[in-house]
Structure 1
């Protein structure tokens, strides 16, 4: 089944770094193709990792409230919502 991840970066620069790190990790670890479409005007970046059948939505707070993807996905099987990143490593890691 396909996976969808929705996350909110600390700021737009962090969002671009998260998307770039996802693309690089997918290329290096799996040799897969990634597709990225960018909607910077509304605070939304999308990274699709083809072979993993995973789509990552990197959305600022305003876009996340406006589009409310979680509500659309809440009926999906095996939905997991993580409100905090406690215990989850930062992407990309702090320097």
Structure 2
């Protein structure tokens, strides 16, 4: 039995080796770019989720802080400020 490549032609053997090397190289390059694309998708998704969670925590924290700060007021009482624009001349 003879070991090595099945083709008896050395030129065919060289072409098979070159085609195999090109195929393996192309697979590695495509795999690398697929990995980069998947990594980019994961990073963008993680950033979006992180910003959303931070924003919700901030919003919830502000709501709790305002609830602690403001005392409960009586229903029916409206507080506000006013400024006298003009006085009646009859009061003097």
Mark yes or no: TM-score above 0.5: no
CA radius of gyration, larger in: 2
Higher percent of residues as strand: 1
Identify which of structures 1 and 2 has the higher relative contact order when contacts are C-alpha pairs closer than 8 Å and 6+ apart.
Answer: 1
